[in-house]
């Protein structure tokens, strides 16, 4: 279904671990050339080694919150392949220790927003001239936390909410040459998708799965499938939208009994 992705060059930020790693693998399996951008050099080099057999893949150590680093990422992708057809803004960090707002430092707040929101802006800014020429697509990985919250997630929720607004703003500004959409994952278990020294088997209980109308907790492959669709020509009439990939969890009313 996504044959048009074959041969295209796609950047995946935060692509060395977690959801981003799952997205990178899916795209490689579909024949895309993938630039894995990640700040963690150990995870990046490990993923590069694991994925080399799947196709054309390159690792570029990147701090998306640093403009020079974001510019370097786009330049490296162009030097490698001569084009950028897709950008997946997946890099993100959470509130440190789920800190209560009255204890949350300004530095911690700024760092979360810098990575989760400003980082996406910077990567688009430096990739967009090449995306325009390729009539490419951007996928921003937000979160259901942009729509609902747990306690003490102010910086994370604000950053992901801003990413949804950035998504529709960019879709209007960059169309028709570039389409921009977002995915808001729910509970995605990434325990098996971390670098090897932090990897573990899933520790999920029946009650965890039962919270989801589909009957299970999500996996990176679930987000990767939607990402491939939004990068492909199959979604050519779709832009400025947010797709919730959460197994229906945010549609389920929960009462304390």
Run of H or E residues at 70: helix 67-81
Active site residues: 156
Residue labelled with tokens 């509130």:
95
Number of helices (H), then strands (E), belonging to the chain: the values are: 8, 7
Q: Where are the beta strands (DSSP E) in 144-192?
A: 179-185
The bridge status of strand 137-141 relative to strand 57-61 is unpaired
- The token pair at 159 is 């950053």
Q: Is the peptide bond before 176 cis (omega within 30 degrees of 0)?
A: yes
Angular region, 31: left φ>0, alpha ψ -120 to 50, beta rest: left
DSSP state of 96: G
- The token pair at 91 is 């890099």
* Backbone φ and ψ of 13, nearest 5°: -80, 150
Alpha-carbon torsion, ordered 111, 117, 120, 126, to 10 deg: -80
């Amino acid at each position: 279904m996504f044959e048009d992705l074959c041969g295209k060059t796609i950047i995946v930020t935060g692509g060395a671990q977690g959801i981003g790693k799952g997205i990178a693998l899916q795209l490689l399996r579909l024949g895309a050339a993938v630039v894995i951008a990640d700040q963690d050099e150990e995870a990046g080099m490990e993923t590069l080694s694991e994925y080399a057999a799947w196709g054309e893949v390159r690792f570029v150590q990147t701090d998306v919150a640093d403009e020079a680093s974001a510019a370097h990422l786009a330049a490296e992708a162009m030097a490698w392949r001569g084009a950028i057809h897709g950008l997946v803004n997946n890099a993100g960090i959470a509130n440190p220790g789920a800190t209560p707002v009255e204890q949350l430092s300004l530095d911690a707040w700024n760092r979360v927003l810098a990575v989760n929101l400003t980082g996406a802006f910077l990567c688009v800014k430096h990739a967009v001239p090449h995306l325009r020429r390729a009539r490419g697509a951007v996928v921003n990985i937000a979160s259901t936390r942009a729509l609902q919250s747990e306690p003490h997630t102010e910086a994370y929720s604000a950053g992901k909410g801003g990413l949804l607004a950035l998504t529709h703003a960019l879709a209007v500004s960059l169309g028709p040459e570039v389409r921009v959409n977002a995915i808001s994952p729910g509970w995605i278990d990434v325990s098996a998708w971390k670098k090897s020294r932090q990897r573990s088997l899933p520790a999920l209980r029946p009650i965890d799965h039962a919270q989801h109308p589909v009957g299970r907790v999500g996996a990176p492959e679930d987000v990767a499938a939607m990402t491939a669709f939004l990068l492909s020509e199959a979604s050519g009439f779709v832009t400025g939208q947010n797709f919730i990939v959460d197994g229906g969890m945010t549609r389920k009313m929960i009462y304390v009994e």
